[in-house]
Amino acid sequence: MRVLVTGGAGFIGSHVVTALTAAGHEPVVFDALVPAVHPDAEFVRGDVRDAAAVAEVLRGVDVVCHQAAMVGLGTDFGDAPDYVSCNDLGTAVLLAAMARAGVTRLVQAGSMVVYGEGRYTCAVHGVVRPGPRAVADLAAGRFEPRCPRCGAGLLPGLVSEDAPVDPRNVYATTKLAQEHLAASWARATGGRAVSLRYHNVYGPGMPRDTPYAGVASFFRSALERGEAPTVFEDGGQRRDFVHVGDVARANVAALTTIEGAGHTAYNVGSGDPHTVGEMAAALAEAFGGPMPVVTGDYRLGDVRHVTADSSRARAALGWKPEVAFADGVAEFARAPLRSPAAG
């Protein structure tokens, strides 16, 4: 199977290319960056916003794996035009070209950020959806969401794909728009689209020293500089850290099992939640220090807890995560990072 992998020279995309090659498929890497990996894979340099380049690279392609995106929380709202252009305009150009070329299968990189806060249960009112945390609460160190009906404390749980979406920042908004575009494309063309909602992906090849990476990259970059990782809030934020190798395998599973028409989203997580503080401490210990510092600082676009129920992907795609947290962190602590310019 000939698979176009947009963003195939980036962090997750490069692992997808490796997994596709190992499974006997023929990946074509389409990326705006100079290739730093995969000398055996066909590489085409181009931007997904370039309709002519996308049309050309789609020739002979059976299915598209869309990983190209601008990621992370960014620096401030001034990044909004770049996020919308890279993520939403790029996806629209790609889908339009696929429609013209008759390519009818798509797997795209989604994100858990579309949920906003995760699933919470109030002892009195059951499952509730807390709104954005108030600045006054965050400034006072009150980080845990409260029940929107009675103000009581909440118990966080696993979020399923059927949970309401509630993007809390620009990046999250663009990732949800990508899903809507894919669903519209599938309805209009009779195509099949899958959005894999990645949770907190980490592993070898993460970019260093960039505000557009994940929290694990921030911690690992600090350690490489000889600095203590800085942990926001009190470090108690729960996340589902999933190894990039497992994410790559989820993409291969989706690419080889999707049938019929329409759009479906699948969570891709480890099923083993850990706090941000636990990730920082585990990385520091595996690296050999220094140990993390908890700052109490916060970012308005962050949510407190969001962890995955990935049972739908396990059942429908025949996929399951294989890399345990301790093993993945130990590997990541020793693995080299890539420069931001290399993806």
Could you write out the DSSP letters of every residue in 278-338? HHHHHHHHHHT-PPPEE-----TT--SEEEE--HHHHHHH-------HHHHHHHHHHSPPB
Residue 113 has pLDDT above 90, yes or no: yes
> CA dist 216 to 132, 167, 206, 240, Å?
24, 21, 9, 12
Asked if 330 and 284 touch (Cβ cutoff 8 Å), the reply is no
- The values of phi and psi at residue 133, to 5°, are -70, 140
Question: Is 171 annotated in the active site?
Answer: yes
Whole-model pTM over 0.85 = yes
Bigger pLDDT: 337 vs 292 = 292
- What does pLDDT average to over the chain? 93
Among 69, 67, 299, smallest CA distance to 173 is for 69
State the average pLDDT over residues 36-52.
84
Residue 343 has pLDDT above 50, yes or no: no
Q: Was domain 2-119+157-333 assigned CATH 3.20.20.370?
A: no
pLDDT of residue 37: 55
95 — pLDDT class (breaks 50, 70, 90)? very high
Asked if 283 and 223 touch (Cβ cutoff 8 Å), the reply is yes
pLDDT of residue 41: 81
Question: d(Cα 306, Cα 239) in Å, to the nearest integer?
Answer: 6
pLDDT of 298-331, one tens digit each? Answer: 988 789 999 999 999 999 999 999 999 999 999 9
Bigger pLDDT: 123 vs 42 = 123
Q: Which residue spans within the chain are E strands per DSSP?
A: 2-6, 26-31, 42-45, 63-66, 105-111, 119-122, 126-128, 155-159, 192-198, 200-202, 230-231, 238-239, 241-243, 262-268, 274-275, 293-294, 305-308
The number of beta carbons lying within 10 Å of the beta carbon of residue 132 is: 14
- Given 171, 198, 202, 298, which residue is catalytic? 171
Bigger pLDDT: 123 vs 76 = 123
Residue 38 has pLDDT above 70, yes or no: no
Domain boundaries along the sequence of the chain: 2-119+157-333
pLDDT of residue 180: 98
pLDDT of residue 71: 82
Cα-Cα-Cα-Cα dihedral sign, residues 211, 215, 216, 218: positive
Asked if 91 and 178 touch (Cβ cutoff 8 Å), the reply is yes
Residue 96 has pLDDT above 70, yes or no: yes
State the average pLDDT over residues 203-215.
83
> CA dist 305 to 1, 129, 218, 238, Å?
39, 12, 19, 5
pLDDT of 224-268, one tens digit each? Answer: 999 999 999 999 999 999 999 999 999 999 999 988 999 999 999
Give me the residue label for tokens 């989203």. 265
94 — pLDDT class (breaks 50, 70, 90)? very high
91 — pLDDT class (breaks 50, 70, 90)? very high
What percent of the chain has pLDDT above 70? 96
Residue 35 has pLDDT above 60, yes or no: no
